[in-house]
Chain A
Amino acid sequence: MLRSFTGGLAALALAGVVSSAQAQTIKIAILGPMSFVQGENHWAGAEMARDEINKAGGINVGGKRMQIELIRADTNEMTSVPDATNAVERVITRDKVDFLIGGFRSEAVLAMQEVAMDYKKIFLGAGAAHSKLGLNVEQNYARYKYWFRYTPTKDVDLARTLFAVMGSIAQQVRTDLKTDTPKVAILAEKAVWTEGLIAAAQKNLPAMKMEVAGLWQPSATATDVTAELSAIDRAGAHIVFTMLSGPVGISVGRQMGERNMKAVAWGINVEGQKDEFWKAAAGKAQYVSTLDTYAEVEMTPKTIPFVRAFKERFKKSPTYNAATYDAILFLKANIEQVGSLDADKLVDAMEKAEHVGTGSIVTFDKRHDLVWAVGKTAGIAVQWQDGQKVPFWPPNVKGMKPFKLPAR
């Protein structure tokens, strides 16, 4: 009897210790397609932030030091949206996470956002660009206020960056090729996120004194674009304006090189942002350029140290999804300011905060979208030159190099 009573007391004491230990951690779920580069970068950036913060003693929550515990949640969102929502449900109900960070495909993130909002969990987006995510906040603030898009800028703002860079490339084409009206072929995968960009391109390019040579829309998963490129070649395009997030980006880069095309590719090519792109395109993607986030340039004082540390640890460059690093540091700054993990208090603080990250200087608008500004959140542009990803825009940032056109 005495033994079982003592045992019971010990169990209770142990439970108390465990409970106390559990309370010492802040649980953050990192949501991403973990078998893919996007998810790998989500996780890698988060690991760097966790190790850095925990090594320095954790996060100060109202005078109490708490360590960060990351929960790795594979959303499998590339192939299944239900898998993504299940992953969010699981980390909230089973793992009892405090915060959610990540996501990539807009279609999946829109669904994940709903689950997160049901549970009033702060969700920092680190991948999806669709405007609807922010529009939800504006239209139903009470429900969606826990959503913040940490990266990238929303699709409309991505377009602003694309056209700013396009303007400078067009100017170079005018000068080098002695043509007043460069011809631009729009090559956009058929997907929700490209619709607004295509409409903007068709409207803005003529206003920017460029001729739209045509619009080609392959499938996002197309592996062969020879017919499209053949038609673009025939149309005499000087610039191929790409809007590609899937493997078709590799096919475009490779097949443009194989066909020895004289047009230069500029736009969004998510595959082109990865170090593996050059090899995947069999070394043929010379002069393919894309919007990007990280390079060894002084976007902020933290950019170069972060990129170097990332490369040293993971043996490759970060993609924009690695901004999970910044998102966690942003959370830390706000938790320490508020002195609490209370979601409503944190939302108030985050709405007013300015955060200098590794790839951008972040402030949020009323939709909880990034406030767009060149040199702050607009990102950078890079071009593949002889196997190296060379940053060339914005030109006023230290470390930028010249943009090159294919020889004619």
Chain B
Amino acid sequence: MLQDILVTGLVNGGVYALLAIGFSLIFGVARIVNIAHTAFYMLAAYCFYTLLTKTGLGFVLSALISVGGVTVFSVVCYRLVIEPVREHEAAVLIATIALALIFQELMLFTFGGHFLGIPSTLEGAVRFLGVSIPYQRLLILVVAAVMLVGVWFILYRTRLGLAIRATANDLEVANLMGMNVHRVAMATVAISVALASVAGVVVAPVFVVDPFMWLAPLVTMLAIVVLGGLGSLKGSLIGALIIGYVEAITVFAVPAGAYLKGAVALLIMVAVLLARPEGLFGVAFEEER
């Protein structure tokens, strides 16, 4: 049983990590409360499904068009919906909830409530410690690792990253220092949605595509980013692994309570926040500004 928990927790943690990186960037680093983040993940999954199964473009081309198309679309949405209300966090929250619901209803109208399946990019499975792991899940682990390194590189080794961190730290001062804060925010949204789209393309084949698929990951992502600590990519990765392992342990320890795995994960988050309000690796709130 121990090896089952170790392997299952790691693989599921990888899935969550890939989903959490983009959310960590937009919510944790740039502090834009984009509730529509996972709705873009849903859009990318639908886009990928349509291109792959209806046009026969193949995995690579379908993936590139999906990620590119949804990223460009997110920039348009940012300019039209988020930017005008950017200074009012509550308004951003409400506007992005509305966006997510509009996307959901559009998908419901276009594709109906059918549950759709995307073929795996990599077929087959490998046995490790007596546990069967599909190659698609290993691909997710690899992509998650690459994305993490990529985001870290952008944030800490480029001028754009410096600008993102500066505007997140103090918007007004960044503006006074001559930074184009709107353009920086737009770039942040584009990068984070690109990450969500990559997740949609790589993760969707192991899940089911449907108009409501954005809701469950949203709650989990919030939990992971808050648990790991706002602003910490390392925290998001560790938060994702913790949630993955907590869920695996719940299922193995209390099989009849498997449906509680999400709730147990959220309970852990609350417990961590009570003991350490800034999250595991976050900056203490008092020191932020």
Contacts and interface: CB of A to CB of B under 8 A. Distances in A.
Interface string A206-233: 0000000011111101111011101101
A227 B247 contact: yes
A259 B206 contact: no
Interface of A: 33, 35-37, 40, 78-79, 189-190, 214-219, 221-224, 226-228, 230-231, 233-234, 247, 250-251, 254-255, 258-261, 271, 276, 279-283
A261 B132 CA distance: 9
Given A35-B108, A227-B247, A258-B125, A216 B258 contact: yes
A279 B120 CA distance: 12
B114 A227 contact: no
B143 interface: no
Contact of A247 (B8, B120, B210, B262): B210
Contacts of B216: 221, 223
Nearest to B113: A36
B4 A37 contact: no
A282 B120 contact: yes
Given A35-B113, A251-B207, A258 B134 contact: yes
Given A221-B216, A224-B15, A259 B116 contact: no
Interface in B209-246: 210, 212-213, 216
B115 A271 contact: yes
Contacts of A233: 132
A250 B118 CA distance: 12
Given A223-B213, A251-B207, A259-B134, A234 B115 contact: no
A224 B248 contact: no
Given A219-B262, A223-B207, A280-B115, A259 B125 contact: yes
A231 B108 contact: no
Interface in B80-115: 108-109, 112-115
B119 A216 contact: no
Nearest to A276: B114
Nearest to B207: A223
A231 B255 contact: yes
B255 A228 contact: yes
The interface size bin for chain B is 35 or more
Nearest to A233: B132
Given A226-B8, A226-B12, A260-B125, A190 B259 contact: yes
A234 B1 contact: yes
B208 A228 contact: no
B43 interface: no
A252 to B, nearest CB: 11
Contacts of B137: 226
Contacts of B136: 258
4 tightest A-B contacts by CB? A36-B113, A227-B251, A190-B259, A280-B117
B212 A217 contact: no
B114 A215 contact: no
A224 B207 contact: yes
Given A35-B108, A233-B132, A247 B15 contact: no
Contacts of B116: 279-280
Given A227-B248, A228-B251, A259-B125, A217 B258 contact: yes
Nearest to B111: A35
24 contacts: A35-B113, A216-B256, A216-B258, A217-B259, A218-B258, A221-B212, A224-B207, A226-B11, A226-B12, A227-B248, A230-B7, A230-B8, A230-B132, A231-B1, A231-B4, A250-B115, A251-B207, A254-B117, A258-B120, A258-B132, A259-B125, A260-B125, A276-B115, A279-B117
Given A33-B113, A250-B115, A282 B205 contact: yes
A233 B132 CA distance: 9
Interface in B193-213: 205-208, 210, 212-213
